[in-house]
C-alpha cells in the first residue's frame, strides 16, 4: 500500500487544503507542511456528518460491524507506513507502536462483536394493559439510539489507540454516529494515513462520505469551533486538564449544551500496605520505577504518587526505586511542549515546602529523565500543588506515620483514573478500610499490580470523578464506552411497521 501524507484534511471523502499551514516537528527527519484547520473547514465536515447521519444512523448493526472490520483491515494494510511514520513523529519505539496498532484494530473488531450481540441496545418492553384500572397502560418500548454527529480529539500520547481511529471514534461509529476528528498536531502524518484507511473503508462499504472527516489542528480555534458547532452532539477528548476544562466550559456555555467526555489528569495513587511492604519492598520499588518510567511516563494511568508508612521498610522501597530510576536512561518525549512542561513541573515540585529531592537530572530539549521526590503527609495534605499531575516519569513518595494517616491521605485525593493497593493476606483489615474510600475516588481500583496497561474489554472503566474525567458515569476504554454516544428513546404505542428494526 502506498500513500504519501500530503498535508490535507479529509472532509467528506475529499482531501482538502486550507490557506494557512503549520510545520510538523518529528523527532527524526524533516518537518512537513500541513494545512491548518479553520472553522469553515470544521463547518463543512460537520454539515457532511449531519447529512450522513440520516443514512448511517439507520444502518443495521451488521452493516456497521462490517464497516468497523473493514476499517481495521485497511489500517492493517497500511501497517508498514504507519509504524515508521508514527515512530518518527512521536519518538515512541517500534514494538510499542506495533502493539498499539494491534490494540487499535482489536478495539474496532471488539466493537463490531459488541454491537452484533445487541445487548448494548438495552431493549425494554412494558406490554399494554388495556384493562388496567383506573387507567389502562399503553404499550411502552425503550431502546438506545445514536445521538448524531460527534467530535473526537486525537490524543498526543497514543497516536493510534486514542487518536483518529481510537476508542472514541470506534465506539461512536459502532453506536451509529458520524465522527469529525480534530487531529493532534504532534502526529499529523500518522493521522492522515489512518484517515486514508477510513476513506477506503467508506468507499468499500458504500457508506456516505460524511460518516468520517479529519481536520488537522494548528490553532485552538479549530477545536473551539468543533465543540461549539450546533450540529455536534457530544465530544470525546483525552488530554490536559487545562485544555479539557476550556473545551468543557465551551460545551456547557452553548445555547444547546452537550456532554463533553474528557479524560484528563490523574496521579493514580498506589498504597503500600505494611505486610506487602515488609515482604517485598524492594521488588515493589523496582516495579514502581518500571511502571513510572515506561514510555517516558506519558500514560494517563502513570502511578505518580506512592503512599507508604515511614520507617526502615519504606527506606528499602525508596532505595530500590531510586536505584532503578537512576539507571533509567533518557527517553524522547512526544512534543517539545510536553518535555518543557515536564521539566517545569519537576522544578515546581522541588521547591514546595517539605519536599525532599531524591533524584533530579538535567534533561535535553525533548528528552526526559526520571525525577523522584519524597514528602511527609503533613506537608502533602496542606499543599494542593503536590497532588497535581506532572506528565512524565516523575514520582512522589508520600510518607505517613501510620494506617490512620494513610486513610486521611486517601480521603484527600481528588478523582482518579486508578487507585492501587499493594497488600498481603495480613493487610486485609486495612485494605477493607481503604476500599470504600478508593472506590469513591477512582474509576478502577486494583490490587497488587501497576495501573499502566489498560485492558480493552467489557469490564474496563477508564474514567473517574473529576478531574480524572469530566463525566464520572462514562468510560473511554472498553465496550461500555459506546454508551456515551447513545440516548434512550421510549416508543409509546408506536405501530411495529414504523418502529426501529432492532425493536421489532
Ligand atoms: P492538550 O494541550 O490538552 O491538547 C489536546 C487537544 O486539545 C489538542 O487537540 C489541542 O488543540 C486542544 N486544545 C487544548 N487546549 C485548547 C483550548 N483552550 N481551546 C481549544 N482547543 C484546545 O494536550 P496535549 O497537547 O496532548 O499535551 C499537553 C499536556 O496534556 C501534557 O503535558 C499532559 O500534561 C497532558 N496530557 C494528559 C494526558 C492524559 O491522558 N491525562 C494525555 C495527553 C496529554 P491545539 O492543537 O489547538 O493545541
Q: In sequence order, which residues have a C-beta less than 8 Å from that of residue 107 and are 6 or more positions away?
A: 161, 166, 167, 170, 456
Q: How does strand 124-126 pair with strand 33-35?
A: unpaired
Q: Determine which residue's CA is closest to atom 47 belonging to ligand 1.
A: 220
| Angle subtended by helix axes 94-117 and 79-90, to nearest 10 | 120
Give pLDDT, residue 184: 97
H-only helix segments in 382-463:
403-412, 428-441
Q: Does residue 487 have a pLDDT over 90?
A: yes
Across the range 278-295, mean pLDDT stands at: 97
Q: Does residue 493 have a pLDDT over 80?
A: yes
Q: What fold does the segment set 270-447 form as a domain?
A: Aldehyde Dehydrogenase; Chain A, domain 2 (3.40.309)
Give backbone dihedrals phi and psi of 242, rounded to 5 degrees, phi first: -65, -50
- For 153-170, the pLDDT digits (tens) are 999 999 999 999 999 999
Average pLDDT, the chain: 97
Give pLDDT, residue 134: 97
Cell of 325: 530510576
Cell of 350: 522541588
What is the pLDDT confidence band of residue 191, given thresholds at 50, 70 and 90? very high
Counts of helices then strands in the chain (DSSP H, E): 14, 21
Q: Please identify, by atom number, the ligand 1 atom nearest to the C-alpha of residue 153.
A: 9
Cα gap 216→401, rounded to integer Å? 51
Across the range 275-295, mean pLDDT stands at: 97
Q: Please identify, by atom number, the ligand 1 atom nearest to the C-alpha of residue 184.
A: 9
Ligand 1 pocket list (CB less than 6 A): 153, 155-157, 182, 184-185, 217, 219-220, 223-224, 238-240, 243-244, 246-247, 263-265, 300, 338, 341, 391
Closest to 158 (Cα-Cα) out of 100, 198, 81? 100
Q: Please identify, by atom number, the ligand 1 atom nearest to the C-alpha of residue 227.
A: 20
- For 198-219, the pLDDT digits (tens) are 999 999 999 999 999 999 998 8
Task: Please identify which residue in the block is written with the cell numbers 469530566.
Answer: 470
Give pLDDT, residue 1: 76
Is 300 noted as a catalytic residue in this protein? yes
- For 383-420, the pLDDT digits (tens) are 999 999 999 999 999 999 999 999 999 999 999 999 99
Q: Model-level pTM?
A: 0.96
Are 297 and 325 a contacting pair, CB within 8 Å? no
Give backbone dihedrals phi and psi of 21, rounded to 5 degrees, phi first: -140, 165
Q: Which of 177, 251, 300, 363 is catalytic?
A: 300
Give pLDDT, residue 3: 86
Across the range 87-111, mean pLDDT stands at: 97
Give pLDDT, residue 85: 97
The full set of domain ranges for the chain reads 34-127+137-264+469-503, 270-447
Site to probe by mutation for ligand 1, drawn from 156, 241, 476 as the one with most ligand atoms within 8 Å of Cβ, is: 156
Across the range 359-388, mean pLDDT stands at: 95
Are 35 and 340 a contacting pair, CB within 8 Å? no
C-alpha of residue 421 to centroid of ligand 1, in Å: 30
Cell of 382: 496542606
Q: Does residue 314 have a pLDDT over 80?
A: yes
Give backbone dihedrals phi and psi of 449, rounded to 5 degrees, phi first: -160, -175
Are 239 and 55 a contacting pair, CB within 8 Å? no
Q: Which of 185, 263, 310, 389 is catalytic?
A: 263
Q: Please identify, by atom number, the ligand 1 atom nearest to the C-alpha of residue 185.
A: 46
CA end-to-end distance (rounded Å), the chain = 43
C-alpha of residue 334 to centroid of ligand 1, in Å: 12
DSSP state of 104: H
CATH homologous superfamily for the domain 34-127+137-264+469-503: Aldehyde Dehydrogenase; Chain A, domain 1 (3.40.605.10)
Give pLDDT, residue 362: 86
Cα gap 122→57, rounded to integer Å? 17
Is 388 noted as a catalytic residue in this protein? no
Are 165 and 71 a contacting pair, CB within 8 Å? yes
C-alpha of residue 435 to centroid of ligand 1, in Å: 32
C-alpha of residue 370 to centroid of ligand 1, in Å: 22
Are 403 and 304 a contacting pair, CB within 8 Å? no
C-alpha of residue 240 to centroid of ligand 1, in Å: 5
Neighbours of 264 (CB within 10 A): 24
Are 195 and 11 a contacting pair, CB within 8 Å? no
Give backbone dihedrals phi and psi of 153, rounded to 5 degrees, phi first: -105, 120
Amino acid at each position: 500500500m502506498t500513500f504519501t501524507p500530503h498535508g490535507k484534511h479529509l472532509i467528506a471523502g475529499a482531501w482538502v487544503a486550507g490557506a494557512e499551514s503549520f510545520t510538523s516537528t518529528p523527532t527524526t527527519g524533516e518537518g512537513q507542511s500541513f494545512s491548518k484547520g479553520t472553522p469553515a473547514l470544521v463547518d463543512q465536515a460537520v454539515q457532511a456528518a449531519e447529512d450522513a447521519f440520516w443514512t448511517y444512523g439507520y444502518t443495521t448493526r451488521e452493516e456497521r460491524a462490517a464497516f468497523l472490520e473493514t476499517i481495521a483491515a485497511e489500517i492493517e494494510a497500511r501497517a508498514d507506513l504507519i509504524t515508521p511514520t508514527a515512530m518518527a513523529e512521536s519518538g515512541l519505539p517500534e514494538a510499542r507502536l506495533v502493539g498499539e496498532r494491534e490494540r487499535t484494530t482489536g478495539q474496532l473488531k471488539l466493537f463490531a462483536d459488541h454491537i452484533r450481540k445487541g445487548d448494548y441496545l438495552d431493549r425494554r418492553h412494558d406490554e399494554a394493559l388495556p384493562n388496567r384500572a383506573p387507567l389502562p397502560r399503553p404499550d411502552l418500548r425503550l431502546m438506545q439510539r445514536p445521538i448524531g454527529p460527534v467530535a473526537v480529539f486525537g490524543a498526543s500520547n497514543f497516536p493510534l489507540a486514542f487518536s483518529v481511529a481510537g476508542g472514541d471514534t470506534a465506539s461512536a461509529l459502532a453506536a451509529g454516529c458520524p465522527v469529525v476528528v480534530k487531529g493532534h498536531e504532534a502526529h499529523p502524518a500518522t493521522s492522515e494515513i489512518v484517515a486514508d484507511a477510513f476513506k477506503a473503508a467508506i468507499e468499500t462499504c458504500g457508506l456516505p462520505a460524511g460518516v468520517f472527516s479529519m481536520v488537522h489542528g494548528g490553532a485552538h480555534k479549530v477545536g473551539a469551533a468543533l465543540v461549539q458547532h450546533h450540529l455536534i452532539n457530544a465530544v470525546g477528548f483525552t488530554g490536559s486538564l487545562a485544555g479539557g476544562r476550556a473545551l468543557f466550559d465551551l460545551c456547557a456555555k452553548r445555547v444547546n449544551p452537550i456532554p463533553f467526555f474528557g479524560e484528563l489528569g490523574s496521579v493514580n495513587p498506589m498504597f503500600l500496605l505494611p505486610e506487602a511492604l515488609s515482604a517485598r519492598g524492594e521488588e515493589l520499588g523496582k516495579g514502581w520505577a518500571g511502571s513510572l518510567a515506561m514510555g517516558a511516563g506519558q500514560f494517563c494511568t502513570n502511578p505518580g504518587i506512592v503512599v507508604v508508612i515511614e520507617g526502615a521498610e519504606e527506606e528499602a522501597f525508596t532505595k530500590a526505586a531510586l536505584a532503578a530510576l537512576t539507571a533509567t536512561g533518557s527517553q524522547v518525549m512526544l512534543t517539545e511542549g510536553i518535555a518543557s512542561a515536564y521539566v517545569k513541573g519537576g522544578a515546581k515540585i522541588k521547591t514546595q515546602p517539605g519536599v525532599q529531592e531524591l533524584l533530579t537530572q538535567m534533561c535535553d530539549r525533548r528528552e526526559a529523565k526520571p525525577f523522584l521526590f519524597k514528602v511527609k503527609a503533613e506537608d502533602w495534605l496542606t499543599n494542593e500543588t503536590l497532588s497535581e499531575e506532572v506528565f512524565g516519569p516523575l514520582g512522589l513518595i508520600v510518607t505517613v506515620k501510620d494506617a490512620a494517616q494513610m486513610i486521611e491521605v486517601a480521603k484527600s485525593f481528588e478523582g482518579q483514573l486508578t487507585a492501587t493497593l499493594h497488600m498481603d493476606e495480613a493487610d486485609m483489615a486495612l485494605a477493607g478500610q481503604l476500599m470504600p474510600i478508593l472506590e469513591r475516588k477512582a474509576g478502577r481500583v486494583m490490587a497488587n499490580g501497576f495501573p499502566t496497561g489498560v485492558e480493552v474489554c467489557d469490564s474496563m472503566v477508564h474514567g473517574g470523578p473529576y478531574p480524572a474525567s469530566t463525566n464520572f458515569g462514562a468510560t473511554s476504554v472498553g465496550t461500555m464506552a459506546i454508551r456515551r454516544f447513545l440516548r434512550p428513546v421510549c416508543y409509546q404505542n408506536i405501530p411495529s411497521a414504523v418502529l426501529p428494526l432492532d425493536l421489532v
